Structure 1
Amino acid sequence: MDNILEVKDLHVSFDTYGGEVKAVRGVSFDLKKGETLAIVGESGSGKSVTTRAIARLIPSPPGRIKEGEILLDGKDLAKLKEKQMQQIRGKEISTIFQDPMTSLNPTMKIGAQIMEGLIKHQKMSRSKAKERTIELLDLVGLPNAKDRVDQYPHQFSGGQRQRVVIAIALACNPKVLIADEPTTALDVTIQAQILELMKDIQKKTDSSIIFITHDLGVVANVADRVAVMYAGKIVEIGTVDEIFYNPKHPYTWGLLGSMPTLDNDEESLVAIPGSPPDMLNPPKGDAFAPRNEYALEIDNEMEPPMFKVSDTHYAATWLLHENAPKMEPPAAVKRRMKGFAASSDKKGDKR
């Protein structure tokens, strides 16, 4: 399957009074047509900065893409001028943000906000754009779409507003949809509905999705592949099954250990000690080493390369070196892994 998006050695920095914050440090990944790639990690790991760089939404100054390529169907977005990017945003790449209320203009009717992109990018007439808008609101499951198209954002619930934001993002049939924690601001019931909606829409439109989240439970339900980020780098990437049932990086072990499962049997969650590094002065060697109880001496001296586990699974940890001692995930993480398997079986997971 051909790649629709390729990110190669992406570096993003922010110039501050304290110095250069190296937010993204050499990120590389690809995205295939119809695929969902989840990017996970703690706050500050570089997830959102990476995807905002893809859509060229990094405020400049202070932010800048230092180096790297962002290839959308072979076209390098990193080299385009802002005027050229305005023709791509909404049309080829769309973004769904975390809080729908900050994404919508409170002074405009929701129909007008959806029609805006259709008129600009699809060159539709106003009557045709309104007709398509009603179709989109039906597609995202908004009841009485014909009557509600002329209402304002404050007249909708949080979940309904997020459906409107998704309709705006889908309006021009984008090739890549970036969902930046799209359900975090919603309650659990509405969150489940929105996730189901996104999966259903993807089947209908064959769009490719980059899904950013810190919630591994969400990942298990929506993603085909998972990239784990730490300190501005991807430290492990693989299919959902590889990341959940055969994780190799100690940071991934920590994330899995800190996640509750349905079969938790009252076991306490495992916390990752310490806190992420200061990206003004990223540490030498493996950035996770100070928090890693399995760290080797080399971790403090040299940054690990990406070791190949399988054709689809890679991890940047010296534990995968042929001369490294053999380490297993902690017992608590192994129990979590079994819990995930049990949960998947109960849900009738069809992956």
Structure 2
Amino acid sequence: MRKKLLEVKNLKINFKTYAGLVQAVRGVNFELFEGETLAIVGESGSGKSVTSNAIMKLIPQPPGIYEDGEIFFEGRDLIPLSEKEMSLIRGNDIAMIFQDPMTALNPTMRVGRQITEVILKHNKIPHSEAKARAIQLLQLVGIPMPEKRFRQYPHEFSGGMRQRVVIAIALAADPKLLIADEPTTALDVTIQAQILELMKDIQKKRNTAIIFITHDLGVVANVADRVAVMYAGQIIEYGTVNDIFYDPRHPYTWGLLGSMPDLKNDVKEELRTIPGSPPDLIHPPIGDAFAARNEFAMAIDYVKEPPMFQVSDTHYAKTWLLHPNAPKIPVPESISRRIEGYLKEAKGNG
């Protein structure tokens, strides 16, 4: 039986601003097991990065407020821990890969030193042994001539190679959980695929659990085991990759899937977009937060927030369309065709 590594319960994160209190994360629940990849997907401002930063206790207080909830890592609630206690967990047990490798790396330090510093911080070993481990890590993440690269500075690396260095630093203390926050957004499609494949390979070798944060459902198909779709600070659909791609139930998930480009251009329709914009979370809407953008919204969507309906043992969605008395609305045909075309291409590349 797999061991539960992380459990997030009713997490609520607010931010004090001059305009008012922003309710950035509004009651998020999920769990993660050893060796598993959970993708958290949604538009900018949906609460994905705030959720991942909250797990690392990287929310600045103030302006951030842990309003409610618990974050259990190996059965221990992280929220009450002091900064000193969290510093022992960060990097050692939970590590993070950030979006932009140039801001994650120190431009004035050789990359080898940046990796060895992390190793030495968490291990009482000689410097020579730390250096040897750092070179092994550079090799693990696919950097050629690691002994030579060890002595170079970040500006001497390409964008894809810098991101590999960032991954090597994240792996330096052999963490149990790796949080990857939009790790491939700044990279071209070819390098993006290489980095995703690298993360899958590392996960197999080390049994690392991964939380993969992205705005693009397309990159998830061959990476994740389960998917949490976030909107307006809430998880609005949650299930296995097959649940989300083959049986999506929330209209917002339909919109995200429909906006994926068809890689072979077999689908001749225009690329769909989700109309409107996310709501103001200083004043979250009454009812379903997606109602104003949902062409299938019913009267109840504007007055009462839907519960999380259970579709199957692994699949849940927060939409009134799943109520027994709601009209049965299938996935729009144009979106179904786009999903089918995308999955064929993804399988061909997998």
Which residue in 1 is equivalent to 2:123?
A: 122
Runs of 5+ in structure 2 lacking a partner? none
Which residue in 2 is equivalent to 1:32?
A: 33
Which residue in 2 is equivalent to 1:170?
A: 171
Mapping of residues 1-351 of structure 1, within 5 Å:
1-261=2-262, 262-347=264-349, 349=350
SS of the aligned residue for 1:120 comes to: helix
- 1:341 to partner: Cα distance: 3.7
How high is the sequence identity, in percent, across the aligned residues? Answer: 66
2:346 and 2:277 map into 1 onto residues whose CA distance is: 31
SS of the aligned residue for 1:236 comes to: strand
Contact in 2 for aligned 1:270/1:332 (Cα 8 Å): no
2:149 and 2:345 map into 1 onto residues whose CA distance is: 38
SS of the aligned residue for 2:89 comes to: coil
2:80 and 2:318 map into 1 onto residues whose CA distance is: 29
One-letter identity of the residue aligned with 1:18: A
Q: Which deviations, in whole Å up to 9, do the C-alpha atoms of 1:81-113 show, x marking residues without a partner? A: 111100000001000000000000111111111
Contact in 1 for aligned 2:267/2:338 (Cα 8 Å): no
Contact in 2 for aligned 1:6/1:72 (Cα 8 Å): yes
1:275 and 1:286 map into 2 onto residues whose CA distance is: 14
2:265 and 2:201 map into 1 onto residues whose CA distance is: 28
- 1:342 to partner: Cα distance: 2.3
2:307 and 2:176 map into 1 onto residues whose CA distance is: 31
SS of the aligned residue for 1:194 comes to: helix
* Alignment root-mean-square deviation, CA: 1.1
Contact in 2 for aligned 1:181/1:213 (Cα 8 Å): yes
1:342 and 1:45 map into 2 onto residues whose CA distance is: 29
One-letter identity of the residue aligned with 2:314: T
One-letter identity of the residue aligned with 1:320: L
Q: Which deviations, in whole Å up to 9, do the C-alpha atoms of 1:155-204 show, x marking residues without a partner? A: 11111111100000001111110000101111111111111111111110
Q: Which deviations, in whole Å up to 9, do the C-alpha atoms of 1:294-342 show, x marking residues without a partner? A: 1111111111111001111000001101111111111111112321342
SS of the aligned residue for 1:339 comes to: helix
Say which is worse superposed, 336-345 or 114-123, in terms of deviation: 336-345
One-letter identity of the residue aligned with 1:221: N
1:58 and 1:212 map into 2 onto residues whose CA distance is: 16
Contact in 1 for aligned 2:3/2:34 (Cα 8 Å): yes
1:26 and 1:171 map into 2 onto residues whose CA distance is: 33
SS of the aligned residue for 1:87 comes to: helix
Contact in 1 for aligned 2:267/2:341 (Cα 8 Å): no
Contact in 1 for aligned 2:24/2:281 (Cα 8 Å): yes
Runs of 5+ in structure 1 lacking a partner? none
- 1:345 to partner: Cα distance: 4.3
Contact in 1 for aligned 2:222/2:346 (Cα 8 Å): no
1:193 and 1:258 map into 2 onto residues whose CA distance is: 23
Q: Which deviations, in whole Å up to 9, do the C-alpha atoms of 1:232-254 show, x marking residues without a partner? A: 00000111111011000000011
SS of the aligned residue for 1:177 comes to: strand
Contact in 2 for aligned 1:176/1:207 (Cα 8 Å): yes
SS of the aligned residue for 2:161 comes to: helix
Number of equivalenced pairs: 348
One-letter identity of the residue aligned with 2:11: L
SS of the aligned residue for 2:222 comes to: helix
- 1:263 to partner: Cα distance: 4.9
- 1:5 to partner: Cα distance: 0.3
Q: Which deviations, in whole Å up to 9, do the C-alpha atoms of 1:190-220 show, x marking residues without a partner? A: 1111111111111101000000111122101
TM-score (norm 2): 0.97
One-letter identity of the residue aligned with 1:291: R
Instruction: Give the direction of change, closer, same or farther, for the CA distance of 1:283–1:264 in structure 2 (3 Å limit).
Output: farther
One-letter identity of the residue aligned with 1:10: L
One-letter identity of the residue aligned with 2:80: K
One-letter identity of the residue aligned with 2:173: C
One-letter identity of the residue aligned with 1:154: H
